[in-house]
Amino acid sequence: MMPDEIAVEILKLVDGIRPVTSIADQLAAQFSAPRDEILADIVVMLQELADDTVLEDARSTGLRPQLGNPPAERSE
């Protein structure tokens, strides 16, 4: 499965922290498109990816995504 340009933009914004509504707001502004349509498309796409076990709901894992850069490795 190769994502199209819009799907790539959506996936760039999916980080496990940002709400889907915020992603829709950002893409609606970026593409000058109706927010409700974008939101509906995002929900459908993410649900399809979850159904295919490509994505997992971060809330169900109990894990929190790490923000920022990982700590540098020490060389001793």
Please write the tens of the pLDDT for every residue from 9-46: 999 999 888 999 999 999 999 999 999 999 999 999 98
Domain that holds residue 36: 5-56
13 in any annotated domain: yes
Residue 31 domain flag:
yes
Q: With respect to residue 70, please indicate whether it lies within any of the assigned structural domains.
A: no
The per-residue pLDDT for 15 is 87
CATH number at residue 19: 1.10.10.1150
Please report, for residues 7, 14, 28, 31, 76, the alpha-carbon distance to residue 2 in angstroms, rounded to integers and kept in the order given: 9, 17, 23, 21, 43
| 62 inside domain | no
Is position 75 within any domain? Answer: no
Provide the domain count of the chain. 1
Q: Is 24 within a domain?
A: yes
- Residue 63 in domain: no
pLDDT higher than 50, residue 69: no
What is the predicted pLDDT for the residue at 16? 83
